[in-house]
Amino acid sequence: MSMQSLISIAADLSWPFAITLAWVVGEFGHRWTGLPRISFYGVIGFVLAQTQVGVLPQTDAGPMLVLADVAFGLILFEVGYRINLRWLKNNPWIAVTGLVESLLTFAVVYFIGIEFGSTSMTALLLASLAMSTSPATIMRVINEERSSGQVTERIVHLTALNCVLAVFTFNIIVGFWMFQSSTDLIEASSSSAAVLAASMAAGTVFGIVVPAMLRRLGNMAQDATVAFALSVMLLVALTYTTSLSPLLATLTFGLVARHRRVAFSQAQRNFGALGELLTVLLFVYAASTLEWASVTAGAGLALAVVGGRLLTKVVGVAAFSHVSGISWRKGVLTGVALTPVSVFIILLLEHARQHGVNFGDELNALAAITLGLELIGPVLVQRVLMLAKETHEIKER
């Protein structure tokens, strides 16, 4: 075989090799250290992407982003499915908490960006992304630890609120970015709002149609997992074709499906083996998009943003802890658990690039934030759940 053939074969095997290696390292790493598996997935993805021989090909290729979106879509569906609107109606202080801590985070991160010499537009983008919490990290650790309780449910609900607010804010700011030369801010905002509204509408239609179909078929407990997984894949493909937001569409799909009263049992968390496989792919892919040069270039601003963001989320949640029905301690723990942001940020930026918005080196700090929280974020969430005594092992003692 020629050298060219060997290189071609190696390129074809690079992603399967990386995903398999990450899974093996994650399993052994979790067994030996007790740390979350996804922290190890991120390490492998980042290390392989930095090698001089180029173990992983360029991640701008469409298929990997589509697979990552499907993986993230399954997670967002599960997040949306766990949102209890009746609980939010009976205890509106939870929604108030999410809104206040998100806006507080936006304001503080914006001023931090300005203080570090960022342009106003860059600071706005950084602030909008900093509002978010990574549902992939949250759900993976919760499922891995099999945790349940007040802190766990508040983390899930606040994560969903953070994501929705971040998607709305980010898309509107990107709209301004794209139309700033024409100074037509009304056109920019209306275009972004239309995309977001259409994305939610698509998710709503799926959330109504799929449960109705399952009712007609009967035997929902057995068929629901496959039906929902295939529906998420179809919804992601549809949003790509129509240039909508797969993130917002799949989150809405889960939320509406939950309130159509279709059973989704405990055994089906994380969509079983399919969800496990795609989760490994998602975290390897996310870490592989980062470059060491960008990480080091934005390290100073990143540390300031992480510190400011952690402070605002802890203060914002703890301030409303008593009126929302939990202790100060659990409020602080919930705020700390909202630290992870990595995968959510990467996919939002990748979608912006797909639509022709290239930020260049202006958001280098995000690479450093993402790498740091890709590794530390899952550990913080795990420790919070343990301190709250809501993990399965602690409850069994």
- The model's pLDDT over 274-296, given as tens digits with 9 standing for 90+, comes to 777 888 888 888 887 777 777 77
**pLDDT given at position 361:** 62
pLDDT at residue 396 greater than cutoff 60 = no
Cβ-proximal residues to 326 (8 Å cutoff; 6+ apart), any chain: 150, 151, 154, 334
Cβ-proximal residues to 228 (8 Å cutoff; 6+ apart), any chain: 77, 210, 257, 264, 271
Whole-angstrom distance, CA of residue 295 vs CA of residue 100:
30
Average pLDDT, the chain: 81
- What's the whole-number mean pLDDT along residues 367-373? 79
More confident residue, 292 or 218: 292
Asked if residues 159 and 335 have their Cβ atoms less than 8 Å apart, the reply is no
Protein fold of 61-388? Na+/H+ antiporter like fold (1.20.1530)
pLDDT at residue 212 greater than cutoff 50 = yes
More confident residue, 383 or 174: 383
Helix, strand, coil share of the chain (percent; to 5): 80, 0, 20
* 83 DSSP 8-state letter: -
Model confidence at 95, pLDDT cuts 50, 70, 90, reads very high
The amino acid sitting at 36 is P
Asked if residues 44 and 284 have their Cβ atoms less than 8 Å apart, the reply is yes
Six token digits for residue 24: 């093996």
Model confidence at 342, pLDDT cuts 50, 70, 90, reads confident
Six token digits for residue 261: 């009263």
The amino acid sitting at 133 is T
More confident residue, 163 or 270: 163
pTM to 2 decimal places:
0.86
Asked if residues 75 and 269 have their Cβ atoms less than 8 Å apart, the reply is no
**pLDDT given at position 206:** 93
Whole-angstrom distance, CA of residue 397 vs CA of residue 394:
5
Model confidence at 311, pLDDT cuts 50, 70, 90, reads very high
Helix axes 150-179, 328-337, angle to 10 degrees: 40
pLDDT at residue 200 greater than cutoff 80 = yes
Residue 62 CB-density burial (10 A; 0-12 exposed, 13-18 middle, 19+ buried)? exposed
Percentage of the chain lying above the pLDDT 70 cut: 81
Number of H helices, E strands in the chain: 18, 0
**pLDDT given at position 92:** 92
